[in-house]
């Protein structure tokens, strides 16, 4: 259950990071509200997962999932340019996240 919550929390990290970028410095109501709610849920899930998973593994997986998805969303929406090198590096991050799960 902790791994499931951790993955969901990583997904929410991408949500709050994207909402933060769209909030124009926390001046737009909907993105700011999305940011606050997603941030609270993401942190809460990370804290829950850390009750049974090691802190280093939990944090690395949480950040990795959030970072990869944030970049993917930015590339899909056109906010960030796609490149093969970025795609390969993101695939490497995903491989490292999977590796952390496998060695746990």
Please tell me the total count of domains within the chain: 1
- Rounded distance between C-alpha atoms, residue 29 and residue 37, angstroms: 12
Phi, psi of 52 (to 5 degrees): -125, -15
pLDDT per residue rounded down to tens, the chain (104 residues): 999 999 999 999 999 999 999 999 999 999 999 999 999 999 999 999 999 999 999 999 999 999 999 999 999 999 999 999 999 999 999 999 999 889 87
List the domain range (segments joined by +) for residue 85. 2-103
Single pTM value for the model: 0.89
């Amino acid at each position: 259950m902790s791994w499931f919550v951790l993955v969901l929390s990583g997904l929410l990290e991408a949500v709050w990071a994207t909402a933060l970028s769209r909030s124009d410095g926390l001046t737009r109501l909907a993105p700011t509200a999305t940011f606050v709610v997603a941030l609270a849920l993401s942190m809460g899930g990370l804290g829950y997962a850390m009750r049974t998973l090691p802190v280093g593994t939990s944090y690395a997986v949480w950040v990795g999932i959030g970072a990869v998805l944030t970049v993917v969303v930015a590339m899909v929406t056109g906010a960030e340019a796609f490149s093969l090198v970025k795609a390969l590096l993101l695939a490497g991050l995903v491989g490292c996240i999977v590796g952390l799960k496998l060695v746990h």
